[in-house]
Structure 1
Amino acid sequence: MDSSKQVLKFIVFWWLVFTFQRVLFSIHHADLVLSSGWGEFLGVFFQSFRLDLAMIGFIALATLPFWLLYHLSKGKMRKIVWQVMKWEQIIILLLISMIHVGEINAYGEWMHKLSVRVFNHLINPDEVFRTATGANYFFFFLYVFLEMLFGIKVLKKMFRFEPSHSVSPIRNSISVLGMTVVLGGLSFLSARGGWQPIPIGINSAMFSVNPVLNDVSVNSTYFFLHSLRLYGKVELDHYLEEVTLEESNEFTTEVLSYTADHTAVFLAEKRPNIIVVVLESWAADAISYSGLHDGTTPHFDKMISEGVYCSEFYAAAGTSEIGNAAIFGGYPALPQVSLTMHPEKSRKLKSLNQTLKPYGYYSSYLFGGDLKYGNIGGYFLDHQFDKVMDEKDFDPGLERGVLNVYDEDLYKKFLQEINQTKEPFLQIAFSGSTHSPYDIPEKWKHFWKGDEAGIMNSIRYADHALYEFVENCRKEEWFEHTLFVFVADHGRTTPTNQNATAASYFRVPLLFWGPLITEEFRGFDMDKIATQSDFVATLLYQMEIPSDDYPWSRDIMSPDFYPFAVYSSSLGYGCKDEDGDMFWFMNAERFTANTFSEEQINEKMDKTRKYLKVLWEEFKAL
C-alpha cells in the first residue's frame, strides 16, 4: 500500500472513532447537548477537528516504530509485526473507549469531562461499587462494546496485510527510513497543533457558551492525558504539612474578615457600564508614577491623579491565565496549579460577568492574540461570557507582531464592539504589545536602551495607545455613565528589579477611573496591600451588589482590611505585608527573596502556609 494512503487512512480511522464517540455521548445526553439547538450542536464536529488531529499525532508517534519495522521486514516476520501493530491499535482503542465511556457515565453527575480525579474514587473500590447503579454497569459495558465493535470493524475494513514487495533491500531501507523521519516530524507537528509559538490546548476545541458542547468538542483522551500531566506536577500536601487545617482556618478567617459596611464609596452610579483593560505584563515599577523611571507612562500617570489607585496591589502569580482567573473570579493562586486548566473545578466558581448578568449586563472579552494559551478562552466561555473574541476575529490584513495585533488596533476593534453593545455592559480587553517579544510599531522601539529596552519601550507605546483609546471613548454618549478599570494580569522584571520572586515583581497597577469617580476620591490612593482576587469584592461593594460568591475576595476600601498578599508560581510561594516580603522556593527549600528579620520570618512563613493550606484543601474538594 502506498505510504501516503496509509497515513490518510490512519487519520480517517481515528477521526471516525472520535466522531462515533461524540455521537454516542450526544445520544446518551441528548437533553444537555441539544439545549442550545441543532445549529450549535453541529458545530461540535467542526470545532473538534484540530484537537482530534493532535491526539492522532500522539497515537501516530506511538505507532511509528512498528510501522518502520513492518516496512523493513519481510515474509513471516512482516506478518508478525503486522499483527503486533494491529493489536497495538486495538489496545489503544480499548483504553480510549474506556476513558470515553467512563466520561459518559460520570457526566450526568459531575457535569465535566473525565479527569484523573477518577483515581480518587478507584483507589476505594468499595465506594465505586456502592455508588454505581445497575444502569451505570449496563451502559459502561454496552458502550465499550459498541465503540470497540465500531473501531475493529472499521480497522479491518481499512487496513489489510500486504506481503513485502520485491524491492532492493538497500533502496527499500533508505526509502523507509526517510519516510519515517518525515512522518515522525509531521506527527510531532500534528501533536503540538502546528508551527505556532504556543502549542495547541483544550481551548482550541471550545467555541460555545454552553459548557456541555465544549465538553463534547474537546477530545476526551487528550483532556484525560492533559489532566494526568497536570496532576503529576502538584505535590502541595507535602509542602504544607507543617501546619494543621484547624489553625490554618483560624488565621485565614482573620485575613478574609472585614467590615462589610462603610462609607468609602467612590462610584457615583450603582449600575455603570464597566470597561476593564487587562494590561499585559505592566509591572508597577515600570510606570513612571512609581518614581523609578521618568516618562514611561505620562498618560497613565495623569489618569492615576484623576482616579482611585491601589499602589500596593499584587498579582496572584506570574502568568496570564492565573491572573485573569484571579481578577474576574476572585480566586487566589496556588503553587503549581492553574485554575483555568481545570475546567471541572473552575466551573464551580463564579466570575464577575455571571454576578452582573441578573442586573442586565452584557459581557464580552477581546484579545488580539491566541486565547488557547492557558485555556483563557475556555475559561471565559465556561463562565458564559456573551462573546469571547481573539485574533481570529480581527482583519487578517492588519499589521501585527508575532503574538498579537498591535494595541492600537486592539483598541479600535474594542471601541467598535462597545459601540455595538446595549447598555449596561461589562466589556473587557486584554492588551498584548507588552508581552515578549514586544509587538510594537518600529518607531516606538528607540526610547529606552539596554537589556530591558523591550518591556520599557513597549509600555511607553502601550501608554500612548491606551490614551488614544480613552480619548476616543470620551466622544461617545455612553462615556458619562462608564467606569474604567485598568489592571495588569501579572508583573515582570524591570531595570530596577531582576528578581522574579521579589514583591516588586508581583506588584502591578489597579486603577478605577472615569467620569463616575466622585470628586472627593479623585487622586485617592487606597494604599493597602491587596491582591488581584480582591478586585471583584471591591467593585461589587461600590455597586451595592453582594459578593458572597467570592469568599476569597475582600473589599479593599473597607477600613479594617487586612494588609496581606500571597502570590505563587510553579516553583513556590511568597507573601507581602507591612513588615516586608519573602518568597520560598519549594523544591530547593530556600528563600529566593526575603526582607523580613530573623525574628519575623518563621511567623510570616507560617501565615503564608496557613493561607495556602485552606485554599489547597478547598481546591482539592471542588
Structure 2
Amino acid sequence: MKEIRFQEISALLYRIVLAFFFYQIARLLFWFFNKNLIPVDSISEYLNLAYRGIAFDTTAILYVNSLFILLSLIPVIINTQKTYHKFLFYLYFITNGISYGMNFGDFVYFKFSQARLTTAAMNVAQHESNIGKVFLVSVAEHPFVLVWFVILMALWIFLYKKVKVSPRKPLKLVPYFIFSVLTLCLTALLVVGGIRGDFKHSTRPINLVDANRHVTKPAQANVVLNSVFSFFRTMNTNSFQEVHFVNEKFIDENIHADKLYQRQGVEPKPNVVIFILESFGKEYSGAFNKDTKIKNFVSYTPFFDSLATQSLIATNAFANGRQSIHGMSSVLAGIPSLKDAFTSSPYSNQKIQSIVSVSNDMGYDTSFFHGAPNGSMGFLGFGNILGFKHYYGKTEYNNDADFDGMWGIWDEPFFQYFAKTLDRKKSPFMATLFSVSSHHPFKVPEKYQGKFKKGPLEIHEPIGYTDFALKQFFKTAEKMTWFNNTIFVFVADHTNQVAYPEYEKSMNRFSIPILFYSPNPKYQLKGEITEPAQQIDIYPTLADLMGYNKKIRSWGRSLVSDKKEDYMVINSDSINEQFMIGNYIYLFNGKEVTGIYNISDKGLERNLINKVKNPETEKGILLSKAWYQDYMNRVINRKLN
C-alpha cells in the first residue's frame, strides 16, 4: 500500500498541528507580557479567546505553509527520500521561523502601537534610517523575547524530528499518481477554506475586524489575532498614509470635523430605529425619482413611497462606500470608505465615536440585528468595536425554518422578530437592523411567488418583498407603546443592479434614498432635502435630534440643524476618491486632483481640469486635499473618538 502514502500524509498533518501548538504558546506569551493592556478576567475567558484564535491561526499557518504542503504531497516519487525531506525541513523552519518571529516582536511592539503587527508598521519603518539600531536596542532591552524565541524554536525542531518518513518507492505508478492528485485536490479545497476562514459563500474572508466578534472588551481582539494573520491580511491593501498638503489652520477653518449641536428640550429621549436596507438603491423608489424625468419610470416600493409622503427625505443622497460593511461604518460612525476600506484597514480596531457610543453615553440600550449567520459581513466584529450592547443574528432568531437557504432569515419574519424584541426593551433604545433579502440570487419566499412586480431586473422582485416586510413591520410596531416616540431612519447600504441609463452614470451608481420618519410631530421630520446628502450625515443628524449636547467627530452634517453647514460628499470608485463640492466633482488619487467635472456631469464625461480655473475650483482642490489629510491623520493616529 505504498501508493496510498499514509506515512507522508500523517507526517504532514503532524507538522501542521505542531504549528498550531506553537502559535497558541505565542498567544499565551503575548498576553502574559501585555496583560496590563489587555484585561482577561478568568482562565475560562482566556481559553475562549485562545479557542476563537484558531480560525485566525489557521489562515496564518496555511498562508505560510502552502508551498510546504504542496511539495509534501506532489507525486515526484522521491518524496520519501532523505535528501528531499531535508529540503522540506529547511523550507518548513525558514518560513515558519520568520513568520513565528513576528508574534514575538509584538510582545514589545504592542505596548507602543496597541495593535497587532500590520503592513502599516512597514510604512513607518521605511522612513526610519536607524531601524537596524532600534531593533538591536529593543532586543538588548528585552532579551526575554529572543530567549523565548530560541527555546521554543529548539523545542519545535525537536518535536518535528520525532516523526520521520522512511524511504519508500511506489511499485505501481498509476495508483500512486491518481491517489496523489485526489489528495492534492482535497487539500487545495481545505487550504482555500482555511485561508478564507469559512466555506460559506455568504461569509467574506475573515479580516482583522472579525476578531471583535468574540470579545467582551475590544482590546481582547489582539489576543484572538496573531501577528502573522494581521500582517498578511493587510499586505497590499493599505493605502493609509499620513499626508501633508495644507497647513492645519486651513483644515481647522474649512473641514470642521468637530461639531456641537445644542438642541434643547428633548425630553423624553426618543427611541431611534435605523434600517440599513440591503442594495435598496434610489432607482427602485418612486418617491425619490419624482424629479429625475425618467421616461416610463416604475417604482417597486409602494409602502416606502407612501411613508415618504409623511417623512423628511433626502432626494439627492449618496452612499459613502461600495459594500455592506462600508455602509455600516458610514451610517453608524460617519466614516466613509475610500480606495481601501477603513473596516479592512489596520486601523479599524480602535475606539470610535459613533451614534452607538453617543447613545450609550446617553443611557440608551443599543442593539444590532442582522438575520444572517452571526459574524457574516463582519458586522458582529465591527458592531463590538462600535459598542453595541446586544447582537441579534440567525443564532438568536433560532428558527431555521425561516432561513432563505443562502444569506439569512427572510426579511418579513426577521422584521417581525425585530419589532417584538424591541417591545421587550426599556426606552430609550437605539436599534439598527441590516436587512438581507434584497441580495443575489434575488429570490422571494415560495408563498409570495407572483405577488411582487418582477420588472426587467432580478432585484426588483426582492426589493418589493423587502418593501412589503417593512409594511408588515409597521403594522406590528405601530400598536406598541414605544412607537409614537421613535425616530426611524431608512437608508440603503449601497446600490445594485441598474435598469435606467440615469443610474449608470458614475456618480449615480452611489445614489441611495435617505428617509427620516417619526409619528411624533415635535421632531418635525417632514419635507424634502434637495441639497446633496450622504450616509455620513445620518450620525450627526441623529445626535442633533436626540439632544446630544457634547462635541462629536463627524465629517457629515446634521440635516435638521438651523446652522448653515458646508457639505462635501465623499466616496470612491476604488481607484480614485470622489468629492462633490459646490458646483464641481473632483477626482483625487491620493496625491493630486486628476479630474474636475461640472456637478451636473454625473457620468464624469467631460474633464475640465485643463479647461476651467477659477477661485471655486482652486479652493475645491485644496478642500479635497485638506479633507483627505484630516481623514488620514484621524484614522492613522487613532483620533476617531
Aligned counterpart in structure 1 of residue 364 of structure 2, from 337, 361, 365 = 361
2:426 is matched with: 422
User: What is the distance in 2 between the residues matched to 1:216 and 1:428?
Assistant: 28
Q: Is the 8 A contact 1:445 1:458 kept in 2?
A: no
Aligned counterpart in structure 1 of residue 272 of structure 2, from 268, 271, 274 = 274
Secondary structure of the structure 1 residue equivalent to 2:368: strand
1:145 is matched with: 150
1:105 is matched with: 108
Aligned counterpart in structure 1 of residue 508 of structure 2, from 483, 504, 509 = 504
1:404 is matched with: 408
Identity of aligned residues (%): 18
Structure 1 range deviating more: 392-401 or 579-588 = 579-588
More helix by share: 1
Summarize the Cα distance change of 1:357–1:620 in structure 2 as closer, same or farther, 3 Å threshold: closer
Q: Is the 8 A contact 2:272 2:429 kept in 1?
A: yes
**What is the alpha-carbon root mean square deviation over aligned residues?**
3.4
Paired residues for 1:21-420 under 5 Å: 21-68=26-73, 72-73=77-78, 78-123=81-126, 124=128, 126=130, 129=133, 136-157=141-162, 159-165=163-169, 167-169=171-173, 171-197=175-201, 198-202=203-207, 203-205=209-211, 206-231=213-238, 234=239, 244-246=245-247, 250=250, 253-256=253-256, 269=267, 271-289=269-287, 290-291=289-290, 293-334=297-338, 336-342=339-345, 344-370=347-373, 372=375, 375-394=378-397, 395-420=399-424
Aligned counterpart in structure 2 of residue 516 of structure 1, from 520, 535, 538 = 520
User: What is the distance in 1 between the residues matched to 2:193 and 2:8?
Assistant: 18
Q: Is the 8 A contact 1:480 1:516 kept in 2?
A: yes
Q: Is the 8 A contact 1:245 1:614 kept in 2?
A: no
User: What is the distance in 2 between the residues matched to 1:115 and 1:236?
Assistant: 13
Secondary structure of the structure 2 residue equivalent to 1:436: coil
User: What is the distance in 1 between the residues matched to 2:362 and 2:555?
Assistant: 23
User: Structure 2: which amino acid aligns with 1:175?
Assistant: F
Secondary structure of the structure 1 residue equivalent to 2:400: coil
User: What is the distance in 1 between the residues matched to 2:41 and 2:361?
Assistant: 20
Secondary structure of the structure 2 residue equivalent to 1:422: coil
2:3 is matched with: none
User: Structure 1: which amino acid aligns with 2:250?
Assistant: E
The one-character-per-residue Cα deviations of 1:115-173 (angstroms, maximum 9, x if unpaired) are 1122234331536756966775323313322432342233223x213122563455434
User: Structure 2: which amino acid aligns with 1:358?
Assistant: D
Displacement of 1:491 after TM fit? 2.5
Aligned counterpart in structure 2 of residue 554 of structure 1, from 547, 551, 557 = 557
User: Structure 2: which amino acid aligns with 1:224?
Assistant: F
Q: Is the 8 A contact 2:258 2:551 kept in 1?
A: no
- The yes-or-no answer on 1:567 pairing with 2:565 is no
Summarize the Cα distance change of 1:407–1:374 in structure 2 as closer, same or farther, 3 Å threshold: closer
The one-character-per-residue Cα deviations of 1:220-275 (angstroms, maximum 9, x if unpaired) are 312210011312xx3889xx99xx323x9637843538996687x9x964622211
Structure 1 range deviating more: 432-441 or 196-205 = 196-205
The one-character-per-residue Cα deviations of 1:586-605 (angstroms, maximum 9, x if unpaired) are 99967862478754796556
The one-character-per-residue Cα deviations of 1:378-421 (angstroms, maximum 9, x if unpaired) are 22212322123433433233231422321112213322432343
Summarize the Cα distance change of 1:58–1:333 in structure 2 as closer, same or farther, 3 Å threshold: closer
Displacement of 1:514 after TM fit? 2.1
TM-score, length of structure 1 as denominator length: 0.87
Summarize the Cα distance change of 1:467–1:343 in structure 2 as closer, same or farther, 3 Å threshold: farther
Displacement of 1:353 after TM fit? 1.5
Displacement of 1:325 after TM fit? 0.8
Secondary structure of the structure 2 residue equivalent to 1:245: coil
Q: Is the 8 A contact 1:574 1:582 kept in 2?
A: yes
- The yes-or-no answer on 1:441 pairing with 2:448 is no
Secondary structure of the structure 2 residue equivalent to 1:49: helix
User: What is the distance in 2 between the residues matched to 1:262 and 1:187?
Assistant: 55
Aligned counterpart in structure 2 of residue 593 of structure 1, from 591, 601, 604 = 604
TM-score, length of structure 2 as denominator length: 0.84
Summarize the Cα distance change of 1:268–1:306 in structure 2 as closer, same or farther, 3 Å threshold: farther
Displacement of 1:312 after TM fit? 2.2
The one-character-per-residue Cα deviations of 1:485-544 (angstroms, maximum 9, x if unpaired) are 11221223432247555332212222221223427x343223332222222212112222
2:498 is matched with: 494
Structure 1 range deviating more: 339-348 or 300-309 = 339-348
User: What is the distance in 2 between the residues matched to 1:188 and 1:472?
Assistant: 44
Aligned counterpart in structure 2 of residue 431 of structure 1, from 432, 435, 440 = 435
Secondary structure of the structure 2 residue equivalent to 1:117: helix
1:12 is matched with: 17
The one-character-per-residue Cα deviations of 1:280-322 (angstroms, maximum 9, x if unpaired) are 1221222110235444222112222222222222211221112
Aligned counterpart in structure 2 of residue 474 of structure 1, from 459, 463, 478 = 478
User: Structure 1: which amino acid aligns with 2:152?
Assistant: E
User: What is the distance in 2 between the residues matched to 1:381 and 1:343?
Assistant: 16
User: Structure 2: which amino acid aligns with 1:228?
Assistant: M
Structure 1 range deviating more: 203-212 or 277-286 = 203-212
User: What is the distance in 2 between the residues matched to 1:498 and 1:612?
Assistant: 29
User: What is the distance in 2 between the residues matched to 1:245 and 1:589?
Assistant: 18
Displacement of 1:91 after TM fit? 1.4
Structure 1 range deviating more: 308-317 or 50-59 = 50-59
Structure 1 range deviating more: 119-128 or 426-435 = 119-128
Secondary structure of the structure 2 residue equivalent to 1:433: coil
Summarize the Cα distance change of 1:59–1:469 in structure 2 as closer, same or farther, 3 Å threshold: same
User: Structure 1: which amino acid aligns with 2:366?
Assistant: S
Q: Is the 8 A contact 2:59 2:196 kept in 1?
A: yes
Displacement of 1:278 after TM fit? 0.7
Secondary structure of the structure 2 residue equivalent to 1:230: coil
Structure 1: where are the runs of 5+ without partners? Answer: none
Q: Is the 8 A contact 1:312 1:528 kept in 2?
A: yes
Displacement of 1:339 after TM fit? 1.0
The one-character-per-residue Cα deviations of 1:351-387 (angstroms, maximum 9, x if unpaired) are 2212222221221112122565663332221232212
User: What is the distance in 1 between the residues matched to 2:268 and 2:93?
Assistant: 61
Summarize the Cα distance change of 1:70–1:173 in structure 2 as closer, same or farther, 3 Å threshold: closer
User: What is the distance in 2 between the residues matched to 1:154 and 1:501?
Assistant: 61
Secondary structure of the structure 2 residue equivalent to 1:426: strand
1:464 is matched with: 468
Q: Is the 8 A contact 1:404 1:432 kept in 2?
A: yes
Q: Is the 8 A contact 2:409 2:436 kept in 1?
A: yes
Displacement of 1:82 after TM fit? 0.4
The one-character-per-residue Cα deviations of 1:540-583 (angstroms, maximum 9, x if unpaired) are 12222145331423222334122431221312232335536566
2:600 is matched with: none
User: What is the distance in 1 between the residues matched to 2:133 and 2:529?
Assistant: 55
Q: Is the 8 A contact 1:533 1:552 kept in 2?
A: yes
Secondary structure of the structure 1 residue equivalent to 2:515: strand
User: What is the distance in 2 between the residues matched to 1:103 and 1:424?
Assistant: 42
The one-character-per-residue Cα deviations of 1:58-106 (angstroms, maximum 9, x if unpaired) are 344211342146861178xx21110111112211221222111112212
Secondary structure of the structure 2 residue equivalent to 1:508: strand
Summarize the Cα distance change of 1:273–1:128 in structure 2 as closer, same or farther, 3 Å threshold: farther
Q: Is the 8 A contact 2:275 2:435 kept in 1?
A: yes
Structure 2: where are the runs of 5+ without partners? Answer: 1-5, 598-602
Displacement of 1:108 after TM fit? 2.3
User: What is the distance in 1 between the residues matched to 2:347 and 2:197?
Assistant: 23
Q: Is the 8 A contact 1:353 1:363 kept in 2?
A: yes
User: Structure 1: which amino acid aligns with 2:99?
Assistant: I
User: What is the distance in 2 between the residues matched to 1:600 and 1:471?
Assistant: 55
